[in-house]
Amino acid sequence: MSQISLNIYIYIYVILRSATFLLRHSFCSIHNMSLLTKKEIIHQMKKGSIIINPFIEDNLGSNSYDLTIGPIVSVYTNEVLQFGNKNANHIDIINITDHGSIELNPERVYLFSTNEYVETKDCVGTIHARSSAARLGIDVICSGGIGDIGYGGFWTMAVSVRQRVIIPAMAKIAQMLFHSVRGKITTKYTDKPTAKYQNKDNMPISSREQIY
């Protein structure tokens, strides 16, 4: 075997070993995820670790809870939004109950608030679009949908669409999954001095990141 062939062989071997390691690591991470089932969600609610108000049993799925949109929607009016300068971004406030529905347009970001107050004292809640909404091209928090341990409030959902879509009031466009955590909880969201999204009313909260 020539030196060049040997080098190629070693290179391919290292690549394959690295790929194998990454696949195993990814599988283990997914395999070890602790997603609460319907029975466990109810159990945690009885313990007071999870609070959902109002709670409608029909909205509780096998491993998630369907969330409805609140009556108020905030719409950014800027053509160009600025990250890190919260005062530069302007919004219009729309009350859906005045019209019974709202039409969403592409190239705009809409901030909805959940109609439900949800608090996760000892676990983590994550928001995802329901499949019925996703199949209409409705993106619900395509990123940033992970809550903090101890967060409680009406959760703000950033929503965008691929084409014009009419959404009725109280629509169930999102669902929340609950995940158990491993390790000692040292600081909950409410204990953080930098906590800026604790939402005690159902007004959507726009980005509060301030860098300059």
Bond preceding residue 54 cis, omega within 30 of 0: yes
Give the pLDDT score at 32.
47
Quick: pLDDT tens for 42-80: 999 999 999 999 999 999 999 999 999 999 999 999 889
Report the pLDDT averaged over residues 102-107.
Answer: 94
Quick: pLDDT tens for 129-153: 999 999 999 999 865 678 888 888 8
Q: CB count, 10 Å around CB of 157?
A: 23
Tell me the percentage of the chain whose pLDDT exceeds 70.
72
Long-range CB contacts (within 8 A, 24+) of 42-47: 44/122, 44/123, 44/178
Does residue 31 have a pLDDT over 50? no
For the chain, the straight-line distance linking the first and the last C-alpha, in angstroms and rounded, comes to: 62
Closest to 179 measured CA to CA, from 148, 154, 136:
148
**Helix, strand or coil for residue 15?**
helix
> CA–CA separation, 54 vs 171, rounded Å?
15
**Backbone torsions φ then ψ of 97, nearest 5 degrees:** -65, -20
Mean pLDDT, the chain, integer: 82
Place of tokens 């369907």: 66
Give the pLDDT score at 8.
57
Give the pLDDT score at 13.
52
